[in-house]
Every structure is written in C-alpha cells, then in structure tokens.
Amino acid sequence: MANLTIKNVPEPLHRALKKLAEKEGRSLNAHVIQQLELSLVEGNRRRLMRRRRVQFRALVESLPPMSGSAEMIREDRDRGHR
C-alpha cells in the first residue's frame, strides 16, 4: 500500500476528524481513508447523474410534442364515447 502525508491540517479539522474516528471506533488513519473513499464514490455518482440528466433531456427533446388531453377527450366524446 502507498503512504500519504497530509501537511498543514487545521487544528479544528484535525480535532473533528479524530473525534469522529473515536466515535466510530476507528483509528484516525482508517477514518480518513474511509472518508476519501466515500468522497470518490460520491463524486463518481454525481458525474454519472449529470451525464444521465443530459441524456434524459436529449431524449425528452427528441420526443414528438404532446397535445393537451382536453382535445383528446373532446374528440372521444364527439365519437360518442362517454
């Protein structure tokens, strides 16, 4: 495994991370690794959702326009349906 050194961590951030790690019964190192992994997963999920949103919008724009339902109901009534 690779090593990573993080310098100049603000003291309040260090305390908060350490407190969360202790609360979850983990070492600070394990907690930071978990948070980095979660950040990557969340970033990937957000990128995927942005791509899917663009694809969805393109699909919606490619669909033929829909007429209002009132017109369809009127036509149906005119044909004798109630």
pTM here is 0.66
Please write the tens of the pLDDT for every residue from 9-37.
999 999 999 999 999 999 999 999 999 99
Sequence-ordered list of residues with C-beta below 8 angstroms from that of 81, at least 6 positions apart, any chain:
none
Q: Where are the domains of the chain?
A: 11-78
Chain centre distance of CA 29: 26
Backbone angles phi, psi at 9, to 5 degrees: -75, 125
| Residue 82 pLDDT exceeds 70 | no
Q: For tokens 């407190």, what's the residue?
A: 19
What percentage of the chain carries pLDDT values higher than 90?
Answer: 76
